[in-house]
């Protein structure tokens, strides 16, 4: 499309400028303008391609981090958790089941909670 418009413009100049010197000056200026325009488009395209590559690299890194996080969070292991409700402030949280742990500190109110694993161990 640009080539056709450029050629039509040059043809129009040739048909409407009778002075050869003026015609050559006009054609030279139009050509220089067209080259500058195309160079500018080329620079814009290169910058866009570089930004696209940069974004694609960031996406790849994000996907890699998400896969690691997903593996960390959702990988099946033998760790079991037990829901706890603090008798002092009624805060709800989960702790890893450990029959050797007899007490813990509530993360909300900081009171010491005595743990009784008796019911849990019977279920195992």
1-56: pLDDT as tens digits:
888 999 999 999 999 999 999 999 999 999 999 999 999 999 999 999 999 999 99
Q: How many domains does the chain have?
A: 2
Residue 2: its pLDDT value, please?
83
Q: Are residues 67 and 109 in the same domain?
A: no
**Same domain for 65 and 87?**
no
DSSP codes joined into one string, 67-87? HHHHHHHH---S--EEEEE-T
Q: Are 60 and 76 in contact (CB under 8 A)?
A: no
Say if residues 103 and 112 touch (Cβ distance below 8 Å).
Answer: yes
Based on the domain organization, do 24 and 70 belong to the same domain?
A: yes
Q: What is the pTM of this model?
A: 0.47
What does the pLDDT average to over 102-124? 77
Reported as a single tens digit per residue, the pLDDT across 51-69 is 999 999 999 999 999 998 8
């Amino acid at each position: 499309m640009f080539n056709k418009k450029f050629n039509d413009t040059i043809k129009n100049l040739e048909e409407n400028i009778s002075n050869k010197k003026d015609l050559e000056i006009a054609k030279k200026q139009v050509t220089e303008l067209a080259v500058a325009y195309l160079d500018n488009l080329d620079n814009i395209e290169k910058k866009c391609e570089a930004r696209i590559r940069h974004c694609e690299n960031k996406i790849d890194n994000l996907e890699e981090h998400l896969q690691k996080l997903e593996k960390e969070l959702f990988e099946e292991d033998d760790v079991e958790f037990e829901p706890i409700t603090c008798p002092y402030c009624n805060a709800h949280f989960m702790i890893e089941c450990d029959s050797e742990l007899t007490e813990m500190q509530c993360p909300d109110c900081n009171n010491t909670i005595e743990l009784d694993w008796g019911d849990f161990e019977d279920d195992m």
